[in-house]
Amino acid sequence: MGILNLIRCVRRHARKSLLLISLIILVLDVAFVALNYHSSRNALLNTLSKRAQDHQNEFGIMLEMTYTNMMQMAKFISNDHELNQLFLQGKKAVEASGTLTGGANAQRTRQQLLKQVKPAWDQLTAEFNVRQLHYHLGPGSLSFLRVHAPDKYGDRMDDLRHTIVDTNADKTPHTGFETGRIYGGLRAVTPIWAQNPDNGENTHVGALEVGTSFDLILPMFENFYAVDTVVLLTQDHIESRMWPEFVNKFFSDNPDMQYYLESASSPEARRNIPRVLQQIGVNSGFSTQHAQLLELDGRHISVYYFPLRDYRGEQNHDMPPAGFVLMWEDVTLLVEELRTSVWANIVYALIGFILIEIILVWTFNRELRLVVAEREATRDGLTGLYNRRFFDQVLHCELTTAIRSGREVSLLVCDIDQFKLYNDNYGHQQGDMCLQRVAVCLERNLGRNIDWVARYGGEEFVVVLPDTDLAGALHVGERLRQAVMDLDITHIESKVAPVVTLSIGAASSTENADPKGLFECADRKLYRAKKNGSNRVEG
**pLDDT averaged over every residue in the chain:** 88
- How far apart, in whole angstroms, are the C-alpha atoms of residue 181 and residue 13? 86
* Omega prior to 139 cis, within 30 of 0: yes
pLDDT > 70: percent of the chain = 89
Report which of 507, 510, 508 is spatially closest to residue 522, judged by C-alpha positions: 507
| pLDDT computed for residue 200 by the predictor | 86
pLDDT of res. 411: 96
Question: In sequence order, what E strands does 51-141 have?
Answer: 132-137
User: Could you tell me if 73 and 131 are in contact, meaning their C-beta atoms sit under 8 angstroms apart?
Assistant: no
Closest CA to 173 of 186, 187, 159, 153: 187
Indicate the DSSP class of residue 98: T
User: 388-538 has which CATH code?
Assistant: 3.30.70.270
- What is the pTM for the complete model shown? 0.58
Which of these is catalytic: 443, 459, 460, 538?
A: 459
Half-sphere exposure of 444 (CA within 13 A, CB side): 10
Class of domain 79-212: alpha beta
Catalytic (active site) residue 337: no
Q: What is the pLDDT of residues 345-362, one digit of tens each?
A: 777 667 765 555 555 446
DSSP class of 184: E
Mean pLDDT of 243-272: 90
pLDDT class of 33 with cuts at 50, 70, 90? low
Give 329's strand partners. 302
Q: Do domains 79-212 and 388-538 have the same CATH topology?
A: no
Radius of gyration, alpha carbons of the chain: 30
What CA–CA distance (Å, rounded) separates 259 from 335?
Answer: 30
Amino acid at 457: G
Please compute the mean of the pLDDT values over residues 223-246 and round it to a whole number: 92
Query: Mean of the pLDDT values across residues 463-478?
Result: 95
CA 304 to chain centre: 16
pLDDT confidence of residue 26: 58
Q: Which pLDDT tens digit goes with each residue over 44-72?
A: 888 899 999 999 999 999 999 999 999 99
For the chain, what are the domain ranges? 2-63+335-376, 79-212, 216-330, 388-538
* CATH number for the domain running over 216-330: 3.30.450
CA distances from residue 133 to 111, 144, 206, 302, 418 in whole angstroms, order as listed: 15, 11, 13, 38, 22
pLDDT attached to residue 460: 96
Q: Which of 331, 280, 281, 342 is nearest to 302 (CA)?
A: 331
The H or E element containing residue 538 is strand 537-538
